[in-house]
Each structure stands twice: as structure tokens, then as C-alpha cells.
Chains A and B, each alone.
Chain A
Amino acid sequence: MSRVLEVENLRVTFPGPNGSRVAAVDGVSFVLHRGETLALVGESGCGKSLTSLSLLRLVPAPGRIEPESRIRLGNTSVLLLEGDALREIRGRRIGMIFQDPMTSLDPVFKVGDQIAEGILAHFSISKREARERSVALLKEVGIPDPAARADAYPHQLSGGMRQRVMIAIALAAEPEILIADEPTTALDVTVQAQILEVLDRLRAQRGMAVLLITHDLGIVAGRADRVAVMYAGEIVEEAPTTSLFARPSHPYTKGLFASIPRLSGPVSRLNPIPGTVPPASAWPSGCRFRPRCPYAFERCVEEPALLPVAPEHRGRCWLLDPASAGRERLKGTN
């Protein structure tokens, strides 16, 4: 599989007390291959959305991508781009859809014109051709009667339809990568199923790479090839989806799994992670999960590296170091 995107040591900082900088994303590295779906999973404030915004250089001020970070899109260094060259990336090579389609669509323009606008910005074709292409895109994302719907305003469409329009806009420039940031969180489950089907079909047909940002491990299970779990600005575990679900290895990942209510199997009391995620300014040194971790031991005051669990499966936890064998039993398992 060919690599389309490589992120290395991404750090995003915000101003902290006394002129310091607080890192909200701290040393994140991953690669994205053509035609695959990589899920970036984590809870609010873990840095998953900032990571995705960094790829488009859309980190809101006063946030800043630190100079040691590297983002390579094919042969292009995204962090070195300026002006037109940067605009060439946004939308054209990397498309993006957000959680709330209503705030991303312009309420006073017909949806067909909004799709055509994107096409005209990136391709030199006539307005009529752009219009034809936007109707074809609406059809491709599964909107019934696309020619008529192209003349609708956003408020005339349901939430699911609006999200389809957003996908059509993102696809208009035929991007190599689609970032989907919580694309179905605001939608009902039956509509969510429709949207995920559409995304999956388009990924397969177009060979696009999808970076799926989500908090929902249920969605990950059905849709992603690989998963990276984020906690407190770091990737704490990364693995092929089946391997992660078969053998969650970081205590945080285990805690997430124990917190999910399920539809099948016996109903038992949920076993949540105690406490809450601290704000970025209060992340502890060493292992950042240490204060909430049931297995924490002396060594956790040192920053753990990503250690191997299985092929292509790594976790940022000292328990995975053979030198700590037997530790887990000492502290008790849950």
C-alpha cells in the first residue's frame, strides 16, 4: 500500500501561564495509506480534532504548530506551504467534513451552487459543466431527485441530507484524503448508518484515504482498518482494528471498552475509568494516564515509549515492557 500522508512528531501548543506554551497535541506520529480508513479515537480534549485541523493548517490562533513537527503529503511538506500552494492542499488534496453540517453550509445559497463553487475553484470548466457535476455528486452521495435538490437551500434539507451535501462538497475536488471529524455524531442512528455506508462506498470506489475522527468505538469496529487511540495529546495505542478489539493493551483503552454499554451479552454494571481527563495545562509528567490508572507502579513516573504488543500493534505503557512482567497481577486485573 502506498503512503499518502505521513505525520511525524506533531506538536500543537497554546499560550500557558507566564509566557510558557502548553502542548495540546504532543508528539503525534502516524501514516495514512491509499484507500484505507484510519480512526483517531478519544474523548473530548484528547487532541484528535486539533490533529486533523493541523493537516490543513487550520489550527485556530493562538494555537501554533511547533517547528519540529513534520506533515508530508506525497512529496509536499505541508508545513512549509504558503498562499496559493496551501490553498491547493485545502479541499483539493485533503477534503474535510465536520460534525455539524448546518454551520458549515451557507444558509443563503442553494446547495447545488455551493458544490459548484468548490468545483470552479479547483478546475477550469464552465458553470454549466460545474452544475452538471454537482448534480452527479448529489446522486453519488445518495440524494434522491438530485437535479431538484440542487436548487434547495440548506434549511429545506434534513440533517442526514445536509451531511450528504457536505460530503458532496468535500468530494467535488476529488481529494486524495478525506478527514471526517465526527461525521455522524449529530445524526440519528438509522441516518448514521446511511452516511457511513456512503463514506465506505466512496472510499472503495475512489481509493481515497479516510481519517475518521470519532469517540465511538462501535463505529470504529465496523468501518476502520486501523485505529489510533489518543489520550491527553498523545497516541497511547495504535493497531489494526481487529487486533485492538481482540487485545486492548493500554489501560486507558481497556477502560474505554469497560465503559461502553452494549446491546448483547449479559447486562452488568459498567466499569468506568475513575476521574476525568485533566486540562492540558495539568497533564502530569511521565505517563499521563498514571493518576487514573489502576495498574500504575513506580516506573510510570517516566514517560513510556510506544512498545510492541503484536504485529503493527503498539501501546504506550510500561506494562508492555517485558521487564515489568508480573506487575499487572500484583495490582489486580479488572
Chain B
Amino acid sequence: MSQALNGGPLLTVTDLVKHYAAGGLFSRPGPPVRAVDGVSFEIARGETLGLVGESGCGKSTVGRTILRLQEPTSGSTVFDGVDVFALGRVELRRLRRRMQIVFQDPYGSLNPRMRIGDAVAEGIEIHRLATRSEIPKRVAGLLEEVGLDPGYARRYPHEFSGGQRQRIGIARALAVEPSFVVCDEPVSALDVSVQAQVLNLLVDLQRRRGLSYLFIAHDLAVVRQVAHRVAVMYLGRIVETGPIEALLNTPRHPYTVALLSAVPEPDPAGQKQRIVLPGDPPSPSAPPSGCPFHPRCFHPAKSDRCRTDLPLLRPVGSSQVACHYAETTPSTPAPLAR
């Protein structure tokens, strides 16, 4: 019986690991790239979880692996009572009707030679969700729902702006009536005024259709517009997760504090003290021992323990934090790295 009907989470991801083999063709195999290294989270029906982090932290790999666009190394994903990683090809295809994805680059994900009406109809045909004669009406309804003129169905992708293409990508995902959509940096490539239009659209669609989103982004201010909860990733792991407002008001992991302080706020009067983190994130093929953040950490209580013991997520306030000293993390940064 479906768990979600009993009020449980729609999606449960447990200990997800995705390692890539490194080297190969011309070089000796090196240590694997630990893109995702033990990630767990849940998403309820109608809920949005924001997955935030900088490039290379593994956030997009999480999104792709739970849809099995990439095969996981280990761990489990249960969607509405179904073990996604145990499915065969036919069952997986059936499940994909309910789990969809919207990509960052809508141009790269649309076939340039296919009319957008046909692109939107493709999923409906594959999953036989409507009779041939009903399809044009369905497509028109979907285009209208994402704010496009239904008359556009006969046009090709190059005739549209970036924002319109992203709307087409959303219509295509919605065509198969999913209950869960992975949004992978859906507004990062868009201008700010268009970005706002698409964010509003995603929120409206969620309300109307009761959708659940995994919203992957690097921009916390964007995530705040759509997410109920948020998880911050660093080097393949979630370092902090909790309700969005709690996490923004009292960040407990030093990395979250640094990330928040680095976001430039559009207010010359309210310029905050920035923590400029030293160096770059380490390579995921050679993560530091202990806490992955310790080489760049500015926490005044930082100790030898951080170099040896990997901190696990544990409840602190209303969040879960992977830091040995989360209780005393300074939320107003000390001017350390100058």
C-alpha cells in the first residue's frame, strides 16, 4: 500500500552514494570521485526541498541519481512506497511518468527540429495518457497553464526566448502529470525579471497540482522564494538541513554562515560583514579527513577533532547540522580571513 497515502513522505532518500571512477583510458585509475557521499532526506507531498551548494558539491548528481538518469553506487530511494533502485526497465519507465525533471538549459533539452507542441505531446503519447484526437487540446491546455499562447504549438524552439523555453520545458515535464519534479537550476540562466516570472509560475503550479519539488540551486535567495525546507551540501554531503527561515536566521554550520555572508544583498545601507573563505573547495576525489570543511573553517572552537572525526548530522535547534561545535557557531562572522 502506498505510504504517502498514510501521510508518510512521498520521497525518502537514504545513504545515497555516487562515486565515479577516475582516470582510465590513458591513465592509471585513480581514487574515485566521491560526488555524492551518503546523502539522506525526505520530501512530503506538496513540499519543496531546496538543495543548495556550490559547483561540484554533488547537488545535481543527487537529482539525477534519484531519477536513475545515473545509476547510484549504493543507498536507496523510495518513491511513494516503490523502491526506485530495484526497478527493472519497464517498471522504471512507468515510474518516470510520476517523477520528472526540469533542466537549467531549456535550449539544450529541447530538440531543435521538433515543434514545441510535439515536444510537449511526446510524453503523453509514450505513456498513452490521451487518445490521438485529444492530444492537441491537452497540449493547448498545458501551454496555457505555463503562460504561453496555445497558438505557439506549431513553432520551433529557436523562435523563443530563454524564459519562454523554460516554460516549454516545464509544460513538457507536466504533460505526464507527475507528482514529483526535480528542478535543476531552473532559473540560473535567466535574466532577473524573467527569473521572477518563472519562480512565480513554479509556485502557482505547485499549489494547483499539489506537486513536490526537489529544487536544486546555488542561490539561497532564489531557493527562499520556493522552498519549505532546505539542505546545504558541501563536498558530496549535506552539512545542514532545516526549515528555510530557521536556517537563514540562525545558520549553524560554518559553511552555511559563509555562504550566506557571501551573497551580495541589493542594499547599499545593509552591507554585511563578508567572510571571505580562504582557497577553493577541495577535490571530491581527495576529500579532507574528518570534517570536509575543516581546512577552510573559521569556527573559533575548531580543534583536532575536526581533523579526525567526521561530524554526522544531528539535531541542533530546529535544524540538523553536521558540525561538532554547531551550538557555538558565530552567526555574525568574525573578521577572520582578510
Contacts and interface: CB of A to CB of B under 8 A. Distances in A.
B235 to A, nearest CB: 13
14 contacts: A43-B193, A188-B55, A189-B218, A189-B259, A189-B263, A197-B276, A216-B264, A218-B263, A219-B264, A221-B266, A259-B196, A261-B222, A262-B224, A263-B263
> Lowest 3 A-B CB distances belong to which pairs?
A218-B264, A272-B196, A188-B54
Nearest to A186: B55
B163 interface: yes
Contact of A189 (B54, B195, B267): B54
Given A188-B54, A263-B248, A221 B264 contact: yes
Given A44-B162, A215-B191, A257-B266, 5 more contacts: A160-B280, A189-B264, A193-B277, A221-B266, A256-B192
B193 A255 contact: yes
Nearest to A271: B196
A222 B248 contact: no
A276 B194 contact: yes
Interface stretch (B18-26, B197-205, B304-312): B197-205
A262 B54 contact: no
A220 interface: yes
A220 B203 CA distance: 28
B271 A222 contact: yes
B1 interface: no
A270 B221 contact: no
| Majority secondary structure of chain A interface residues (helix, strand, loop or mixed) | helix
A80 interface: no
Interface in B221-274: 221-222, 224-225, 245, 248, 258-271, 274
Contacts of B105: none
B248 A189 contact: no
A242 B271 CA distance: 12
B259 A190 contact: yes
Instruction: For chain A, give the interface size range.
Output: 35 or more
B244 to A, nearest CB: 9
B161 interface: yes
B219 interface: yes
A263 B221 contact: yes
A188 B276 contact: no
A216 B191 CA distance: 9
A189 B197 contact: no
Interface in A229-274: 241-242, 245, 255-264, 267, 269-273
A190 B164 CA distance: 31
A260 B54 contact: no
Contacts of B162: 44
A245 B266 contact: yes
A218 to B, nearest CB: 3
B267 A245 contact: yes
Interface residues of B, number: 44
B62 interface: no
A4 interface: no
B220 interface: yes
Interface of B: 54-55, 161-164, 191-197, 199-200, 203, 218-222, 224-225, 245, 248, 258-271, 274, 276-277, 279-280
A236 to B, nearest CB: 14
A272 B265 contact: no
A259 B192 contact: yes
B265 A263 contact: yes
A220 B266 contact: yes
A260 B262 CA distance: 16
A259 B265 contact: no
A256 B197 CA distance: 12
Nearest to A43: B191
A192 interface: yes
Contact of A190 (B192, B197, B224, B258): B258
A120 interface: no
Nearest to B244: A267
Contacts, number: 127
A197 B194 CA distance: 29
Contacts of B196: 258-261, 270-272
Contacts of A218: 263-266
A324 interface: no
Contacts of B193: 43, 255-256, 259, 272-273
A215 B265 contact: no
Nearest to A257: B266
Contacts of B276: 190, 193-194, 197
A283 B218 CA distance: 34
B318 to A, nearest CB: 17
Given A188-B55, A276-B163, A267 B225 contact: yes
A254 to B, nearest CB: 11
Contacts of A255: 193
B51 to A, nearest CB: 15
A217 interface: yes
Nearest to B223: A261
B219 A261 contact: yes
Contact of B264 (A44, A222, A264, A272): A222
A264 B265 contact: yes
A161 interface: yes
Contacts of B260: 263
A196 B161 CA distance: 31
Nearest to A188: B54
B163 A262 contact: no
A245 B271 CA distance: 13
Contacts of A259: 192-193, 195-196
A285 interface: no
A277 B279 CA distance: 39
A272 B248 contact: no
A328 B325 CA distance: 54
Nearest to A184: B264
Contacts of A221: 264-268, 271
Contacts of B222: 261
